[in-house]
Copies of this chain bind each other. A is one copy, B any other.
C-alpha cells in the first residue's frame, strides 16, 4: 500500500512543547507529571481539549486513561498510544511522543478523508512510570487489576493510590471498568524514544521493536569471614568480595556460552561487610539482573550464573545464597506488524533496525491483548529519565511518519 500522507512536524512540535510546559520545573529544567499528581491530571485535561479542537469526543476511562476514537465503523479499533505521566524531573518525549504523534496521525487521517475499515483510537495511558508500581492504566485496560490491589497500593511516601484518585474526583473502583475485550481491538502501535544508545551508535533513525526483553532480578549474598588484612595470609582468607570479582569477570564468557547478542547482565548495587579498608570483607550482598528477548536464553543465563556462583563459593570457601526477586517474561511484538512497520519504514527511505526494547513500555501488556508493534527513534546520547533527554525534531518527524504509515496500513479500507 502506497500513499503520500505525511505528518505536520510543526504542529506536532507545538503540541509536545505545550504539553511539556505542564509540570515543567524551571529550576531543574525537568518535567514533573508524576502519575496521579495534579500536573499529570492537568496534562490529561489539556489533551482532551486538543481532541475537542479537532471536533472529536475524548473520554477518560475509570483508570484515568484518556481515549479518543475516530471512525464510526462497528469494528475493532487500531489503537495508538503511550503514556502522559513522567518520572520526577523527566524529559520532553518519554511517553508524550507516542500520545501526541497519535493525535497528529489522527488529524492527518481525519483530514485526508481516507476510508477506514477499522476506527482509530488514541490512548494516553496512566501511571506508566511506576509511582504505584507502574503500567496502571494499561493493566486496567487489559483487565489485570483487582479491587484489593487498588485499595491497598501505596507510593514510596506511603500515599495510597485510592486517596490520590479521590483527590482528583475519581472513583478508584471504576478503574475496573476500564477493561477492554480483545475483540474490541485490532492492533496497537506505539512510537517511543529508544532511551538507549543503539540507533545513535548505528547512525539509523528508525528502530522496529521485536519485543520487550524479559528480566530476572536476584539478590545474592556471598559469606566468608572478616579478618585482619595484615595478619591473614591470602590462602587462609575467605574473601567474599574476591568471589564477586570472579563472578563479574566471567560476564563476557557467561554471555558467550549461554547468552545472545542482546543479553545483558548487570550488577548495580554492592554492599560489603564490614566495609573497612583493612578488614578482609567477610560478606558481600549484591543485585544481579539478566535480560534477554528469549525466555530460554534467560533460563540458561540464570542456570549458568547459579552454577558459576556455586563453583566460586566452593573454590573460595564461601557460602552462596540468592533470592529470585522477580522474573518477568519477555513479550513479543506481532511478527506481521514488525514486518509491516519495517516495510513502511523502507518505503519512506529508511533502513530500519529490528531491535529489542530493554526498557518496559505500555506495549508489553498490549502484546497479550492484541497484535502490538513499536517504533523507536534515537535518543541523543542514549539519555532518558532526565531533563537532558533529547531527540532531534527531524527524527521525531520520521518516526511519526512511520507511525502514520503503519496506522493507515492497518486501518484503511
Q: Type the 1/0 row for A247-259, where 1 means its CB is closer than 8 Å to any CB of B.
A: 1110110010000
Query: CA of A316 to CA of B214 in the docked complex: distance in angstroms?
Result: 26
Nearest B residue to A262 via CB reads B233
Q: Type the 1/0 row for A199-240, where 1 means its CB is closer than 8 Å to any CB of B.
A: 001000000000001010100000000011111111010010
Contact of A270 among B198, B249, B270 (CB under 8 A): B270
Q: A245 on the interface (CB 8 Å rule)?
A: yes
Q: Check A241–B229 contact: CB distance below 8 A.
A: no
- CB-defined contacts of A249 to chain B, threshold 8 Å: 242, 245-246, 248-249
Q: Check B264–A234 contact: CB distance below 8 A.
A: yes
Q: Kindly identify, within residues 257 to 306 of chain A, every residue whose CB is under 8 Å from any CB belonging to chain B.
A: 262-270, 272, 275-281, 287, 289, 291
Q: Check B270–A272 contact: CB distance below 8 A.
A: yes
Which of A18-26, A46-54, A164-172, A189-197 lies at the interface with chain B?
A189-197
* Closest CB in chain B relative to A215 CB, distance in Å: 7
Nearest B residue to A201 via CB reads B236
Query: CA of A239 to CA of B196 in the docked complex: distance in angstroms?
Result: 15
Query: CA of A279 to CA of B267 in the docked complex: distance in angstroms?
Result: 8
> A interface, by DSSP: helix, strand, loop or mixed?
mixed
- CB-defined contacts of A255 to chain B, threshold 8 Å: 234
Q: Check A280–B268 contact: CB distance below 8 A.
A: yes
Q: A84 on the interface (CB 8 Å rule)?
A: no
- CB-defined contacts of A198 to chain B, threshold 8 Å: 231, 233, 236
- CB-defined contacts of A384 to chain B, threshold 8 Å: 228, 231
- CB-defined contacts of A230 to chain B, threshold 8 Å: 196, 213, 215, 264, 291, 357-360
- CB-defined contacts of A272 to chain B, threshold 8 Å: 268-270
Q: Check A277–B264 contact: CB distance below 8 A.
A: no
Q: A196-B231, A249-B249 are in contact. List 17 more A-B contacts (CB 8 A).
A: A198-B231, A217-B277, A227-B382, A228-B384, A228-B385, A229-B264, A229-B358, A230-B291, A230-B358, A232-B358, A239-B266, A242-B251, A245-B248, A245-B249, A245-B267, A269-B277, A277-B289
